[in-house]
Amino acid sequence: DIVMTQSPDSLAVSLGERATINCKSSQSILHDSNNKKYLAWYQQKPGQSPKLLIYWASTRESGVPDRFSGSGSGTDFTLTISSLQAEDVAVYYCQQYYSIPITFGQGTRLEI
Amino acid sequence: QVQLVESGGGVVQPGRSLRLSCEVSGFRLGSYVMHWVRQAPGKGLEWVAVISDDGTNEYYVDSVRGRFTSSRDNSKNTLYLQMSSLRVEDTAVYYCAKGPHGMSPEHNWFGPWGQGTLVTVSS
């Protein structure tokens, strides 16, 4: 199984500042056949179900504000929120879809 | 708009069975791979199962394989998760989630998700 490890576990950032969340996979999730990185990011606000933010490591889902961006290599990935807004308080999860079983990181709690 | 509504959760004793349903609207269920993901109270997300768009292929996480079965009735726009031999550690909110169009079941991100249904396994 591919293990996804996020850092930090929790993060406090001031309004308007940049937030960076890291995600590391235990093996490469870059597929040689299409040069795509099989990684997604989700946001889960308190009491809500998760919401897809990014897939293919850097493609924003329709309707997601452009302050959210994703980047990374074969094993190391980053979710960046360029200017933190109050509504961004949530737990963020990375997920690999390179192989079954699909696995998630443990989550990063983002606070103001 | 796209909606997924889970139902069927509740309190059940260890060893018993339960069937969850996920009724969808706003899209043609038969065109999409569908997933079940769970979240134990206060914990992170765990993928549970996937079923192909036509229901012919299924994959499960090791901890539920042989006990859980996913099925679908595309004519009723409904996905099911039959859970048997339930264990205390199966206690969680269970979400159904839609996979992306045109992707094979093993290679999916999830969106949107339903609101979830809580399953509590306790004696």
Helices (H) and strands (E) counted in chain B, each on its own, are: 0, 10
Which residues of chain A neighbour B115 with C-beta distances below 8 Å?
Answer: 49
Asked if pLDDT for residue A59 goes beyond 90, the answer is yes
- Residue closest to A104 by CA, chosen among A20, A1, A11: A1
**Token representation of residue A103:** 């696995």
Q: How confident is the model at residue A74 (pLDDT cuts 50, 70, 90)?
A: confident
Measure CB to CB from residue A95 to each of B62, B100, B109 and give the nearest one: B109
The DSSP secondary-structure symbol of B65 reads B
- Contact by Cβ (8 Å): B89, B24: no
- Residue closest to A37 by CA, chosen among A93, A88, A111, A96: A96
Chunk chain B into consecutive blocks of 10 residues (it has 123) and report each block's average pLDDT, rounded to whole numbers. Answer: 97 98 96 96 97 93 97 96 98 96 86 97 96
Average pLDDT of span A14-29? 97
Q: What is the mean pLDDT of chain A?
A: 96
pLDDT tens digit sequence for B42-54: 999 999 999 999 9
**Token representation of residue B62:** 């090791």
What type of residue sits at position B34?
Answer: M
List Cα–Cα distances, A86 to A50, A59, B49, B90, in angstroms: 18, 23, 34, 34
**B-chain residue closest to A52, CA distance:** B111
Put simply, whether B118 touches A (Cβ < 8 Å) is no
Three-state SS annotation for A41-99: EEEECCCCCCEEEEECCCEECCCCCCCEEEEECCCEEEEEECCCCHHHCEEEEEEECCC
Asked if pLDDT for residue A45 goes beyond 90, the answer is yes
The DSSP secondary-structure symbol of B106 reads T
Average pLDDT of span A23-33? 94
Q: What is the pLDDT of residue A104?
A: 98
Measure CB to CB from residue B61 to each of A51, A101, A107 and give the nearest one: A101
Q: What is the pLDDT of residue A73?
A: 87
**Token representation of residue A80:** 């960046």
